[in-house]
């Protein structure tokens, strides 16, 4: 039982981190019809900036804030330089964002050196709680809480604020929103920056929990995020949460019991969704997958 709960907590924590990347990806796709293959690169940048910030300031909060700022900036640069010239051309978007992904991860090696960085947990999250005979690692609980808060915050913004209304309407029908006098370009930039910041936050939270930050993690988690977005339904935030938890849990359990099949089970999940429900678990009206 102890083991089961531990694995479950671990899985949920991993799922929350994947959710942080995937929700930006899914929002950007739903609103702008852009699939950003560079998203994982921003995740890796978040991790490196977070680790660097913590080693310089020794303050966890500041390191997180630095990572988020880095995410916002990279998001702005990406939108401005990479996405803007190729709006409306899917193939060029896919090609160019993959190229930028590689530039981003190589640039990490230029700035932070080619080696793997060791990441430390802040002291107040280092040990664990004992509840009965179950040990709960503090940092994982912290990750779950942060992920959940972010999810609730996104849903609240989307549901109850004017900006959220515009974004939701934009996902359904861009032309109509423009016709109503909304500057959709600004909304695009905003959503892109927030999505990137969330990915960077995910990276900054991930590095301490795994203990390392390496440049290739962007690609690795980027792939997870794509799978999650496919399973959850492109454009759906709750869908990406459910799918991320599903992927996180199945991955952790399989990694424990049948380690060699850990990656395969995620793929099988995706295959099943693609065969039986290609629009994903949660279909969003207005977003077509054809």
Partner 1 sequence: MIKTLQKSTWVYLFTGLMLVLLPFFKDERWFLFLMIQIFVFGIFAMSYDLLLGYTGIVSFGHAMFFGVGAYSVAITLDRFEPSFMSLLLGIVIAMAVGGLIAFIAGILTLRLKSHYYAMLTLALANLFLVLAEKWRSLTKGNDGFTFQIPELPGGLEDHRNMVIYLFCLVSMVVIFFGLKRLTESPLGKILVAIRENEQRVVSLGYKIMPYKVIISVISGVVASFAGVLYAISIRFVDTSVFAIDMTLDALLMTIIGGVGTLVGPIIGAGIIEFAHHYLSELSDVHWIFERWIILFGILYILVVIFFPSGIVGTINHKLATRKQRKKEDEQSDKLAS
Using CB under 8 A, list all residues that contact partner 1.
29, 35, 37, 82, 85-86, 90-92, 94-96, 98-100, 102-103, 106-107, 109-110, 219-220, 223, 226-227, 230, 234, 260, 263-264, 267, 270-271, 274-275, 278, 288-290
Beta carbon of residue 77, minimum distance to partner 1 (angstroms, whole number):
12
Whichever of 92 and 126 has its CB closer to partner 1, that residue is 92
Q: What is the CA radius of gyration of the chain?
A: 19
Whichever of 43 and 60 has its CB closer to partner 1, that residue is 43
Whichever of 167 and 273 has its CB closer to partner 1, that residue is 273
Beta carbon of residue 5, minimum distance to partner 1 (angstroms, whole number):
28
Residues 25 and 230: beta-carbon distance below 8 Å: no
258 in helix, strand or coil? Answer: coil
1 in helix, strand or coil? Answer: coil
Whichever of 61 and 111 has its CB closer to partner 1, that residue is 111
Whichever of 4 and 257 has its CB closer to partner 1, that residue is 257
Beta carbon of residue 196, minimum distance to partner 1 (angstroms, whole number):
18
Beta carbon of residue 218, minimum distance to partner 1 (angstroms, whole number):
11
Burial of 89: CB neighbours in 10 Å, binned 0-12, 13-18, 19+: exposed
Whichever of 39 and 121 has its CB closer to partner 1, that residue is 39
Enter the tokens of residue 8. 């479950």
Beta carbon of residue 290, minimum distance to partner 1 (angstroms, whole number):
6
Whichever of 35 and 125 has its CB closer to partner 1, that residue is 35
Collect all residues with Cβ–Cβ distance below 8 Å to 83 and sequence separation of at least 6: 32, 34, 36, 93, 96, 97, 192
Collect all residues with Cβ–Cβ distance below 8 Å to 231 and sequence separation of at least 6: 239, 243, 246, 247, 269, 270, 273, 280, 281
DSSP string, 186-197: HHHHHHHHHHHH
Residues 213 and 48: beta-carbon distance below 8 Å: yes
Side-chain-facing half-sphere of 102: CA atoms under 13 Å: 5
Beta carbon of residue 260, minimum distance to partner 1 (angstroms, whole number):
5
Beta carbon of residue 24, minimum distance to partner 1 (angstroms, whole number):
16
CA dihedral (100, 106, 110, 113) positive or negative: positive
């Amino acid at each position: 039982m102890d083991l089961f709960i531990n694995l479950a907590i671990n899985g949920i924590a991993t799922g929350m981190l994947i959710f942080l990347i995937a929700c930006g990806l899914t929002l950007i796709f739903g609103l702008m019809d852009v699939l950003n293959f560079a998203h994982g690169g921003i995740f890796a940048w978040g991790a490196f900036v977070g680790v660097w910030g913590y080693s310089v300031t020794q303050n966890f909060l500041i390191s997180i804030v630095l990572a988020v700022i880095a995410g916002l900036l990279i998001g702005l640069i990406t939108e401005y330089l990479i996405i803007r010239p190729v709006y409306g051309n899917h193939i060029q978007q896919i090609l160019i964002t993959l190229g930028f992904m590689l530039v981003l991860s190589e640039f990490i090696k230029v700035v932070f050196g080619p080696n793997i960085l060791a990441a430390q947990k802040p002291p107040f999250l280092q040990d664990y709680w004992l509840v009965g005979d179950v040990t709960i690692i503090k940092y994982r609980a912290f990750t779950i809480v942060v992920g959940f808060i972010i999810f609730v915050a996104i849903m609240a913004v989307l549901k109850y604020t004017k900006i959220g209304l515009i974004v939701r309407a934009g996902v359904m029908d861009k032309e109509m929103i423009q016709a109503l006098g909304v500057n959709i370009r600004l909304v695009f930039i905003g959503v892109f920056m927030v999505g990137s910041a969330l990915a960077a936050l995910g990276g900054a939270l991930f590095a301490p929990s795994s203990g390392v930050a390496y440049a290739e993690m962007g690609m690795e988690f980027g792939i997870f995020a794509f799978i999650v977005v496919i399973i959850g339904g492109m454009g759906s935030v709750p869908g990406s949460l459910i799918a991320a938890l599903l992927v996180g849990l199945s991955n952790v359990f399989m990694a424990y019991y049948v380690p060699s099949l850990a990656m395969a089970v995620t793929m099988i999940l995706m295959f099943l969704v693609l065969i039986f429900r290609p629009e994903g678990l949660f279909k969003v009206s207005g977003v077509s997958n054809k």
